[in-house]
Structure 1
Amino acid sequence: MREILLDTPRGRLAALRHGPAGAPPVLALHGWLDNAASFLPLLPHLPDIDLVALDLPGHGHSYHRPPGAEYGLIDYLLDIDAAFDALGWARGRLLGHSLGGALATLYAAAAPERVERLALIEALGPLAGTPGGALSRLREALLQRRGPVGRSLRVFPDPAAAVRARMQANGLSEPAARLLVERGIAPVEGGFVWRSDPRLRLTSALRADEGTVREWLAGVECPVRLIAAAQSPPYFGAELRQARLACLRDGSAVVLPGGHHLHMETPAPVARELAAFLAG
């Protein structure tokens, strides 16, 4: 595993790269407030691919959006496009977890000529808006942006305190939380703060309805492999998964024991379901 930097017209993207040159190229996209270290536990089990685990903008060591900019879906898709260009990949495969899986799904639909295979962990398309919630979401989003964002970041006295906070927030084991924290904190006077952009926590003003999400899914042309956790969060339950899976032209899914970060907590069975698919 080696650290790489990708200079793009949008900003500098950081990533971790592992695998033999000439192997099938795979761009890995992590979840919300995670970073590229999310995929470290999988690496020993995926030897036959050229894996580039990206820090999404606003996360890890990648650039933060300029003042006044947003972390919208289309902006992330442009970053994925830029990463492909910077890597010199005309085509490749995508591996995404949670938010990264939602973005990977949308990119596969928007740029089918660039995506050969799509592997997803705990995601199949983005979160949809809930009926009756659009007005309150819009008002909350505007209200949040009227005031200062992230002026007083929480300072942890040492990395161990940040690890404990991450374990409590996500129910992660200590080793999994430590991997994310080691890449996700920066030293400041008096301790450490999260590297992630505080604007990532702002409410998005708009969400697509479920019908629109399913139209996007129907536009995915490549084969799709979905790994779902038996203890999935409520917003990604079995009924929704099956309905969305039915929209795909070529999709398959498997449910494995574990929670939302099962690729970090139990990487071997997850990799067994993905290795042959990604290597192709």
Structure 2
Amino acid sequence: MPPRELTIATPHLRLAAKEWGDAALPLLLAIHGWLDNAASFDALAPLLAAHFHVVAIDLPGHGRSQHRPAGVRYHFVDYLDDVLAAADALGWKKFSLLGHSLGGGIASFVAAAFPERVEKLFLIEVAGAVSAPVEKSLGQLQKGIVQSRENASKALRVFANVEIAVAARRKAGDLSDAAARALVLRGTREVEGGWSWSSDPRLMPASPQRFSEDQVLAILAGVQAPTLFVLAEPMAMQIPESLMLARAAQIPKLSLVRLPGNHHLHLEDARPVAAAMLDFLDSSTAPLQTTTTGSKPLIEP
């Protein structure tokens, strides 16, 4: 059964979403990565639809969702409000979360801050927010403000046709044609002269503020939900592997699975990821364990 398009009216923004599965099934809210969109789950969600009612949202400024108002930044912590507002609008009091990349960071922080609302947590490639050493705080602040001011006058690239946009996205994310096409078809809009990204240009500047790694670890320790963490093998992220494994060790009820693939392994070959998720559902919660069966990702901001 094809996915159904959904519009979620939150108090401040209208979010677009896709949904799979019967509404009577356990609830699973899926959150995509930076500059991706809900199509990130086009391959995985159908494999879960017999077990979950899956709703994959376009984050604000992404895909077909509204952009934030003029003068408002895309701060990482504000995405937590967006996720909770979407769940509230859906009438979901308790649900599971699935997050990839930036979405994994958001999902893990929602689960830590509001454990009473999250039943199970599924993370793909990222747990926690991007961090920076405290001694780099001033430089980060300057960089974020300068880039934001410079970016305000920049126009989005216009592609003569969708195929050129697909090729650009494929190159930027080291993606297959099918994976890039899924993201591009949901992430572009027709404009004068061709096609352009539908994402908000204000997503591009660096964040002026970062968490410290100690803060990230302290927050992740608050996750109470049974958690499955899927990492590509070999490691496919800019974040050091040792750092990500240290984050995993902070989450009390976590199982770690390593699967062959790149940063978008859930979109490129969803079957092993779905199998790991369904095996996790069938198994009892266990302490940290690793099972082993690279492109540079987009994990900003």
Is 1:179 aligned to residue 182 of structure 2?
yes
Is 1:188 aligned to residue 191 of structure 2?
yes
CA contact (8 A) 1:17 1:52 kept: yes
Query: Which whole-Å CA distance do the structure 2 matches of 1:53 and 1:222 have between them?
Result: 20
Distance change (3 Å), C-alpha of 1:146 and 1:2: same
The structure 2 residue matched to 1:23, chosen from 25, 28, 33, is 25
Look up the match of 1:99. 102
After TM superposition, the structure 1 = structure 2 runs for residues 1-280 of structure 1, keeping only pairs within 5 Å, are 1-46=3-48, 47-130=50-133, 132-147=135-150, 149=152, 151-277=154-280
Specify the SS of the correspondent of 1:48.
coil
Of 37-46 and 155-164, deviating more is 37-46
TM-score normalised to structure 1 length: 0.96
Query: Which whole-Å CA distance do the structure 1 matches of 2:187 and 2:38 have between them?
Result: 9
CA contact (8 A) 2:176 2:268 kept: yes
Specify the SS of the correspondent of 1:41.
coil
Query: Which whole-Å CA distance do the structure 1 matches of 2:47 and 2:20 have between them?
Result: 12
TM-score normalised to structure 2 length: 0.89
Query: Which whole-Å CA distance do the structure 2 matches of 1:39 and 1:231 have between them?
Result: 22
Instruction: Report percent identity of matched pairs.
Output: 48
CA contact (8 A) 1:26 1:278 kept: no
Query: Which whole-Å CA distance do the structure 2 matches of 1:21 and 1:96 have between them?
Result: 20
Amino acid at match of 1:11: L
CA contact (8 A) 2:190 2:196 kept: yes
CA contact (8 A) 1:231 1:260 kept: no
Q: CA deviation at 1:40?
A: 0.5
Specify the SS of the correspondent of 1:235.
coil
Deviation beyond 4 Å, 4+ runs, structure 1 = none
Amino acid at match of 1:14: A
How large is the Cα RMSD of the aligned pairs?
A: 1.5
Deviations 1:65-116 (A, max 9, x none): 0011111122111101100111100000000000000000011111111111
Distance change (3 Å), C-alpha of 1:96 and 1:142: same
CA contact (8 A) 1:45 1:275 kept: no
CA contact (8 A) 2:104 2:127 kept: yes
CA contact (8 A) 1:6 1:12 kept: yes
